[in-house]
Amino acid sequence: MASILNKTQELQESSKVLGHVRCESFFIFPGESSLSDAFRGVLYFLALAYCFVGLSAITARFFKSMENVVKHSRKVVAIDPITKAEVITYKKVWNFTIADISLLAFGTSFPQISLATIDAIRNIGERYAGGLGPGTLVGSAAFDLFPIHAVCVLMPKAGELKKISDLGVWLVELVWSFWAYIWLYIILEVWSPNVITLVEALLTVLQYGLLLVHAYAQDKRWPYLSLPMSRGDRPEEWVPEEIDESKDDNDVHDMYSDAAQETVESGNNIVDIFSIHSANNDTGITYHTVADTPPGSSTKRGKVKNFTVFDIWKDQFVDAITLETPESKKVDSIYLRIAKIFWQLLLAPWKILFAFVPPCNIAHGWIAFICSLLFISGVAFVVTRLTDLISCVTGINPYVIAFTALASGTSWPDLVASKIAAERQLTADSAIANITCSNSVNIYVGIGVPWLINTVYNYFAYREPLYIENAKGLSFSLLIFFATSVGCIVVLVLRRLIIGAELGGPRLWAWLTSIYFMMLWVVFVVLSSLKAVG
């Protein structure tokens, strides 16, 4: 982000004519610079909003693939000691806590990680760091903590309560999240001011591994490494599960490999995701009975349907160009139908583009998972370019743009992730874990990896560390972030003690909590922006 901000400032300074700043940069066509700055600003803001819609669409597809990845199970054959008969069980490959921290948090933070890594590679050989600077990551952390909490607390139905079932794991994730920003302050202001050494960069990246180990230890309740806190009661089912018993009894089992088929057939854009936590089963072992239905088929209303990968892939494109579903045709109001058709028409370009993502049932969802991350990275790059141009044509301080538009744009997958989790999952674990873990990933990986790339090169090429510039107001922003985040956590704890859950509850209290979280974000943005502009 530092290189983008520098470019914006150079454009503004080089274009000053009699005190008026003229932005000569453009997005697609050179002729854009001939338009008025006000008109261009409106166009770029609309394009930015449209990119947010695209990020929402591809994030939903990303979660469909993640569900298949996490629900991948392996076959375990044992001999019953009494009957001597074979007992077949299926043990899930992924631990759910690790899945939340790695797949979920890493995937939703991928826009920041990919942009920072690409920029670091481009800046190899430079003595000063580029990429998504610390200030931008702090702004992203504030967006994750405040607006996303504000949205999630409203997602449960009126009166419905959703609480964290494993407070021990959440506390471990929360401590590591706060430590990430304390560590950032230490290495920038205390240990080696405005300089990043190879040791500091390496320690930053390694702490992500320590987070994974510590969270797994807490989940398994390892002695000496976990908090002495009992796990809360888990419901029988975290979300309604539809077990497909028509799969062939292979060595590797995936009970939800056909989830995408039913989604395409129903035309529903929301899939039952975040059912990655076990149903009151800490061992992660499930039992499966194989029916006599032919492999590669599914049953519905007594009929046997055969599906191939190409059939499912074709249905993705058919769904992308379908403007009216059978459900929307039943709407009585003609104006509402027209509005829905217009919205589907607006979404059509994104849906057609993302239909190229392979179906989620290929390779247990891994191919779709990787392709979705690539699309997320591409859209996030466009968002970054648009925020650069908005700063250029409006004259708004680029750091203010970074704290607001850029932070919200690159954190949009985090918002969609936690929103869907709060809607679909029966507890608040994944919704809140995604927020805390994404903040940790932003520092340990989003900043650590680019710094490690540049410090390694500078160490062997120049025998020098990596220098940090444009860190103005970072210490002040960190202090404001800590103060406001304490106010956020205190309210979550009070809700747990008084109402009995972090999310949901009486509608009035949910709205008051949401408004309070948004006010904390406004306080952070305003104070940090005022400090940035002096």
pLDDT digits (tens, 9 = 90+) for 310-327: 888 888 888 888 877 777
Percent of residues, the chain, with pLDDT higher than 70: 78
Residues 505-527, mean pLDDT to the nearest whole number:
91
Higher per-residue confidence, 47 vs 388 = 47
- Give pLDDT tens digits for 200-223: 999 999 999 999 999 889 888 888
Taking residue 459's Cβ as centre, other Cβ atoms within 10 Å add up to: 16
Residue with tokens 């006599």, as numbered in its chain: 292
What's residue 275's pLDDT?
36
Instruction: Characterize 252-277 residue by residue with b for buried, 16 or more Cβ atoms within 10 angstroms of its Cβ, and e for exposed.
Output: ebbbbbbbbbebbeeeeeebbbbbbb
Lowest pLDDT segment from 7-16, 269-278, 430-439, 503-512 = 269-278
What's residue 203's pLDDT?
94
Indicate whether 300 pLDDT > 70. Answer: no
- Give pLDDT tens digits for 106-159: 777 777 787 777 777 777 877 777 655 566 677 888 888 899 999 999 988 877
Task: Provide CB contacts within 8 A for 484, sequence distance 6+.
Answer: 142, 145, 146, 520, 521, 523, 524
The model's confidence at residue 521, banded by pLDDT at 50, 70 and 90, is very high
Q: Across the chain, what does the average pLDDT equal?
A: 75
Backbone angles phi, psi at 300, to 5 degrees: -155, 120
Task: Provide CB contacts within 8 A for 314, sequence distance 6+.
Answer: none
Task: Provide CB contacts within 8 A for 394, sequence distance 6+.
Answer: 37, 41
| Alpha-carbon span 503 to 238, nearest angstrom | 16
Q: Between vectors from CA 38 to CA 32 and to CA 42, what angle results, nearest 5°?
A: 80
What's residue 132's pLDDT?
53
Indicate whether 518 pLDDT > 90. Answer: yes
> Alpha carbon 363 to chain centroid distance?
22
What's residue 48's pLDDT?
86
Backbone angles phi, psi at 356, to 5 degrees: -70, -15
What's residue 512's pLDDT?
93
Q: For residue 452, what is the DSSP state?
A: H
Q: Do residues 503 and 162 lie in contact, with contact meaning Cβ atoms separated by under 8 Å?
A: yes
Indicate whether 103 pLDDT > 90. Answer: no
Q: What is the pTM of this model?
A: 0.72
Higher per-residue confidence, 274 vs 64 = 64
| Alpha-carbon span 422 to 149, nearest angstrom | 10
Percent of residues, the chain, with pLDDT higher than 90: 10
What's residue 153's pLDDT?
92
- Give pLDDT tens digits for 31-57: 777 888 888 888 988 998 888 888 878
> Alpha carbon 495 to chain centroid distance?
25
What's residue 133's pLDDT?
59
3-state class of 454 per DSSP? helix
What's residue 262's pLDDT?
40
Indicate whether 525 pLDDT > 80. Answer: yes
The model's confidence at residue 18, banded by pLDDT at 50, 70 and 90, is very low
Indicate whether 237 pLDDT > 80. Answer: no
What's residue 519's pLDDT?
94
The model's confidence at residue 342, banded by pLDDT at 50, 70 and 90, is confident
Indicate whether 440 pLDDT > 80. Answer: yes
Residue 252 to residues 98, 229, 246: CA-CA distances in angstroms? 20, 35, 14
Indicate whether 30 pLDDT > 60. Answer: yes
Residue 353 to residues 123, 146, 372: CA-CA distances in angstroms? 31, 32, 11
Residues 410-427, mean pLDDT to the nearest whole number:
80
Domain ranges of the chain: 34-229+329-533
Residue 5's nearest CA partner among 398, 407, 450 is 398
The highest-level CATH class for domain 34-229+329-533 is mainly alpha
Higher per-residue confidence, 234 vs 454 = 454
Higher per-residue confidence, 302 vs 427 = 427
> Alpha carbon 480 to chain centroid distance?
24
Which of 24-28, 116-120, 325-329, 486-490 shows the highest mean pLDDT? 486-490
Residues 350-367, mean pLDDT to the nearest whole number:
86
- Give pLDDT tens digits for 372-383: 888 888 887 888
**Strands 161-162 and 86-92, bridge-based pairing:** unpaired
DSSP string, 88-116: EEEEESS-HHHHIIIIIHHHHTHHHHHHH
Residues 451-475, mean pLDDT to the nearest whole number:
80
Q: Do residues 173 and 440 lie in contact, with contact meaning Cβ atoms separated by under 8 Å?
A: yes
